[in-house]
Structure 1
Amino acid sequence: MEYRPIIAAQSTVRIVPTPAAPGFVRVVLVSNRYLLGIALILVALVPLFLDALHDTFRSRVRTDIALLPTYIASFGAVCLGHLSLRRIAVLPLVSGASLIFPTFLASFTVGFFVLFILRIPLGLPHLLGSFVTACTWYFFASVMRARYVRPIVGLVGVSPTEAAQLSERIHWQILREPRLPQGISAVAFDPHSNLSMRWSSFITRLVLQGVPVYHLAHMEEGLTGRVKFTEHSDNEFGALLPSLFYLKIKRVIDVVVALLALPFVACIVALVSVLIRLESPGPAIFCQVRMGHRGRPFVCFKLRTMHTAMDGPAFTEEGDRRVTRLGAYLRKWRIDELPQVWNVALGEMSWIGPRPEAIGLARHYERHVPFYGYRHAVRPGITGWAAVHQGNVAMLEAAQEKLEFDFFYIRYFSFWLDVLIVLKTIRTVLTGFGSR
């Protein structure tokens, strides 16, 4: 995903190395071709070097394994991992270093299964060595980028007070006169400010010269992962319409994955249901009518995590006494959401999307939070962009922020954003982030 320029420019945001960066680092860190090229060389040489240190292992490899298919699988996995990192790391609220291991684990797993399914002889030690080498190289490059590379963006029509509130991930420099200082890689401006003809001509010249010019609000969206609605005219609902093409593709993926997962999910749900019934009286499956796609109600299924004899508010509070001991763990690891795979198979939900709210709570939010109903433009999901950043929320202020996350997901609806949510969901499940 790239930020949207006001007028199409020929280049994307350039990353500016600091003057202190060594010459070799300066060249390598700003070029994806160099990063990938060095990675492929290391993946080819390092495992062979390790083989040479162990004669017995080297002999076994030479006599028993055809290394060429393993090399091809390793190179393909590195290229796939590199492409995935490029597409995911530019998304908001992302730490590039934290994505390296899961991204390459996924790409090398794909390479392994391709060779396994095709029954091609596989050099597993060599493949593992390539995986470790790729992870090490990209992690080293990530650390060096954080140390030596920092983007510098010029601001036009923005006051110092407004600039101080912008993300610290970017070095912002307010332009006092219509001239582009050395080192500025892009310009962001507020179209609602009263720009003189002189500044308007300057921005036009930048675009014609290939310097990216961005709407400041769009740039903030890319840095915060949230889309805010204001009274300005740029808040057109057409800008939030999700990709209809990807909606169809995603629906096919949802159904296929749900059907494949259902047998395994059914076994887990059956086992946990027995434990729930043993701990407290009441049904194991909790059914609740929730607001669905395009505002249509549907019955959402969850594993019961609360005592049935206790009353309380419509939402779960911090340390809620209604939650059972087993329920606390089910909520922490999101196991209670597994029955919703059936909702996905029925077409009522998706694996990824805004979390569905109970009808009463959704109506309450619609009365108090502007544009709340627009989150129903896509199918609700088992996990989502807001869920992995906020967790479970109930207060109106938090609901407004949640809506901004949901709007971002709808506006930048894409395969790579879904991939990032999957990775963040894994982190959420392992850490129990946001559970109540």
Structure 2
Amino acid sequence: MSEASGSDPPKTADTAAGVRVGVLSFHNSKETKAILNAVRALGHEPVWLREENVRSWIEDESLRFDPDVEVVANRLLTTKAVQPLDDLGVATSYAASRPVLNPPDVVVRAIHKYGAAATLTAAGIPVPEAYLALSHRTINEGNRLAGERAVHKSAIGTNGDRMAVVGADDAVSPYIARRRAFLQEFIDTGTERPFDVRAYVVGGRVVAAMKRYAPSDEWRTNVAVGGEVEDFTADLPEEAARLSREAADALDLDYAGVDLLCRDGAWYVLEVNVTAGFKGLFEATGISPAPHIAALAIDRGGGRVDPDRVAELAETLDDSVPECKPPTDPEPERSTTIGYTERVTVSAGQQAVDVIAKSDTGAQRTSIDFDVAAEIGAGPIIDTVYVKSGSRTGRQKRPVVEIDVKIGNRWQTVTASIEDRNHMTYPVLLGRDLLDGYRVDITKREREE
């Protein structure tokens, strides 16, 4: 590694040169793009920290990064990541020597909804009553909530996914989609059309707020399920604004979407969302949180911004692809040829093994033998699929895992099905999910050594 690629922890930024603001995000969300564009518009340098470009190393007792930045805004979508702790480990590396907005230890505490509610309760912030138990027996007996209805919800999740209203005596599971679940008091707002309030807090200040109304055939208000939005920024009661600020502060969040409900004049904090979206909020209020987040990051990095310019930029949501987006790993050229059988390397993190694989353009998905999957430590199972096998009658149900496959000099990640291929010649079958972009030469065969 060259000295130019990394550096010791940065000193106070030269405001004339601008602050290098890294946005740590492995996805292509509107929010990430908007923050990066806002950094640029405020006269500073945005750096998109992605899997394609991030490197770090420890050398001569110094921690170094490439690309190097002076401050990081954490926008990792941990609730949707396959390996969230691995992703947060990257943020932890930056936090060891750089200021990080929404640092990883804070995110871990905030994304677990019951754990966050416990923290808010300890801080004296009103939340709906809730009940957590970890087994099928204990969640269905004892100190269940007293109300006639409750919300059965995942402890970690977004967009109201798989939440359900249950009765007081309904049997429920301690899991939803293999994640722990809990019961939360169903708060009836007493209005003809159910609604809640989303207040977006940045740097201890509410920058915008909206009402979210449930669709006519729904009780959930999430925009993702069709909820309608309405500006509530100017009308947000001071009590609700205060609770929003205090909730973000109690969880040590630099920015967050705080969801609130009001019953009989009393406000409750329903949830605090670490990576709340901007689209619905901007649609309702005409205010984008992105420039406010960018300004906070620049300030933490030792730079300066013009508050009037921040307010001006907040009137638009520029989610165009920023110039700083790093190039993705190169796709194979159409002229690249792969044999009918090919020596490949497969890995799932624990070990990498070389095998002879068969190319099959008629198969949609790559598949791997049980023994090879066990050898490389493939897992966890992320799904199951039904596959029509050419060697057996009917459709077979198979588990699906994520693996890495190296063809030539190029690694690709795919979700492969696991099957017993002991009765077949080749332990790995390459499907169209890997072969797209290659030309298969059926006369080219890899010889066993």
Report the TM-score when normalising by structure 2. Answer: 0.23
Indicate the structure with greater helix content.
1
Report the TM-score when normalising by structure 1. Answer: 0.24
